[in-house]
């Protein structure tokens, strides 16, 4: 069953751009080989870490949005664990959150339609009101 995941990983701040591209393309190839799809790749850039990780205070953040099975995510996490340039990673399943937000949006739309003002009514008796000058 295909699900949607966000895979955030942090690479060392001294990692060259070419090595980052190589890592991302390796992950994309692994996703494609297992029948998944990469929805988006977001390079967030170099940022300060909240705490020291492997003696680094900064890191380059990269966010992958992936659609695939659970086995795919296990393989991606395995590859990130053995990669020397990756200092931290986190995988989050987001498809349940998207369903929940869609449901809330549908409820809000239904409430808006129910609270919409009715069009003005015709005068009683079916006659037009008299106009005096």
Residue 24 located in a structural domain: yes
Name, in order, each residue with C-beta under 8 angstroms of 37's C-beta and a sequence gap of 6 or more: 31, 66, 67, 68
What pLDDT is attached to residue 115? 85
Tens digits of pLDDT across the chain (133 residues): 789 999 999 999 999 999 999 999 999 999 999 889 999 999 999 999 999 999 999 999 999 999 999 899 999 999 999 999 999 999 999 988 888 888 899 999 998 888 877 566 666 655 666 667 6
Residue 124 located in a structural domain: no
Residue 131 located in a structural domain: no
Q: Which CATH number belongs to the domain containing residue 76 in this structure?
A: 3.30.70.60
What pLDDT is attached to residue 64? 95
What pLDDT is attached to residue 124? 60
What pLDDT is attached to residue 101? 86
What pLDDT is attached to residue 1? 77
Question: What residue numbers bound the domain in which 40 lies?
Answer: 3-96
Residue 53 located in a structural domain: yes
Beta bridge partners of 10: 61, 88
User: What H or E segment, with its residue span, contains residue 87?
Assistant: strand 86-93
Q: How many domains, in total, are found in the chain?
A: 1
What pLDDT is attached to residue 119? 64
Residue 44 located in a structural domain: yes
CA distance 19 to 5: 23
Phi, psi of 68 (to 5 degrees): 180, -170
Q: Is 71 helix (H, G, I), strand (E, B) or coil?
A: helix
Whether the CB-CB separation of 7 and 76 falls below 8 Å is answered with: yes
């Amino acid at each position: 069953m295909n699900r949607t995941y966000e895979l955030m990983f942090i690479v060392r701040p001294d990692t060259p751009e070419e090595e980052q591209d190589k890592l991302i393309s390796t992950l994309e190839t692994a996703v494609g080989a297992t029948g998944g799809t990469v929805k988006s790749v977001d390079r967030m850039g170099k940022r300060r870490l909240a705490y020291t990780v492997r003696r680094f205070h900064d890191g380059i953040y990269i966010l992958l949005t992936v659609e695939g099975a659970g086995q795919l995510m296990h393989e991606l996490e395995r590859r990130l664990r053995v990669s020397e340039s990756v200092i931290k990673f986190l995988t989050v399943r987001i498809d349940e959150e998207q369903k929940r937000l869609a449901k809330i949006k549908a409820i809000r739309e239904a409430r808006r339609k129910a609270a919409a003002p009715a069009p003005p009514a015709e005068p009683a008796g079916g006659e037009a009101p008299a106009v005096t000058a």
